[in-house]
């Protein structure tokens, strides 16, 4: 069976060397995945301050469920890179850390949420003041977005076309609010993850500029 998993590689609040370590770790994970029939795609990333570095990078792993699970388990946790700083030759610190966590799919773009196939459209009668014509003809529009269960209505215009346009605008606004809430929640989660990065308790350790794995 085919499975998917998402991993987030983060430099936390570490310096540029940690962002470079993220770049090394992401490349290493990609290489390992290709040898096990797992495809890896970058979902989102934030480029680091130096070439080939990331302050964070979200990867999606897709392939045989046992291979995806094994690869995910291998990388989850803290990754340590032991190497003299390639950016600051006289810097005393030699240990740099990467936090790897499983993440959920969040912050879906609004454009992906408003596909016509996901929306039920119902013509309704406009209530309230406005005369007999307004009450007898179903010029109002009710839109229901099935994936989220959001329902909006527009009944104030006499034209069904105009009411549909207004209802679509209201639905888009509601979905944008959801996307914004997801984004805020994700930013808070990322901030917490950065604060919680456990240094000195690494599951995987790599040495030198060639990022060679240290036997456990």
User: By 3-state DSSP, what share of the chain in percent is helix, strand and coil, each rounded to 5?
Assistant: 35, 30, 35
**pLDDT over 60 (residue 131):** no
- pLDDT mean over 47-71: 94
In sequence order, which ranges of 1-80 are alpha helices (DSSP H)?
A: 16-34, 65-75
- Report the pLDDT value the prediction gives residue 57, as an integer from 0 to 100: 94
**pLDDT over 80 (residue 108):** no
**Residues in contact with 180: Cβ distance below 8 Å, sequence separation at least 6, in sequence order:** none
- Report the pLDDT value the prediction gives residue 88, as an integer from 0 to 100: 95
**pLDDT over 80 (residue 136):** no
Q: What are the DSSP calls for 191-205, one per residue?
A: HHHHHH--TT--SEE
- pLDDT mean over 115-135: 70
Q: Which of 29-38, 126-135, 184-193, 205-214 has the lowest mean pLDDT?
A: 126-135
pLDDT band at 178 (very low <50, low <70, confident <90, very high): confident
Give yes or no for a contact between 81 and 52, defined as CB atoms under 8 angstroms apart: no
Strands 140-145 and 2-10: unpaired
Give yes or no for a contact between 7 and 101, defined as CB atoms under 8 angstroms apart: yes
Which residue would you say has higher pLDDT here, 163 or 115? Answer: 163
What domains appear along the chain, each with residue ranges and CATH number? 2-107+197-213 (3.30.70.1660), 110-180 (3.30.160.20)
- Report the pLDDT value the prediction gives residue 192, as an integer from 0 to 100: 59
């Amino acid at each position: 069976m085919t499975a998917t998993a998402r991993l987030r590689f983060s430099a936390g609040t570490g310096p540029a060397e940690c962002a470079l370590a993220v770049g090394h770790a992401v490349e290493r994970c990609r290489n390992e995945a290709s040898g096990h029939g797992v495809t890896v795609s970058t979902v989102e990333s934030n480029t680091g301050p130096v070439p080939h570095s990331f302050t964070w990078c979200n990867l999606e792993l897709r392939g045989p469920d046992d291979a995806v699970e094994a690869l995910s388990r291998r990388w989850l946790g803290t990754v340590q890179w032991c190497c003299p700083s390639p950016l600051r030759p006289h810097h005393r610190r030699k240990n740099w850390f990467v936090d790897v966590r499983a993440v959920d799919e969040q912050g879906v773009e609004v454009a992906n949420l408003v596909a016509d196939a996901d929306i039920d459209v119902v013509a309704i009668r406009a209530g309230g003041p406005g005369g007999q014509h307004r009450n007898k003809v179903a010029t109002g529009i009710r839109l229901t977005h099935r994936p989220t269960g959001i329902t909006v209505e527009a009944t104030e215009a006499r034209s069904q076309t105009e009411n549909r346009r207004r209802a679509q605008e209201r639905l888009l606004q509601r979905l944008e609010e959801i996307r914004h809430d997801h984004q805020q929640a994700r930013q808070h989660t990322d901030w917490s993850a950065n604060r919680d990065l456990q240094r000195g308790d690494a599951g995987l350790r790599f040495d030198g500029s060639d990022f060679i794995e240290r036997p456990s």
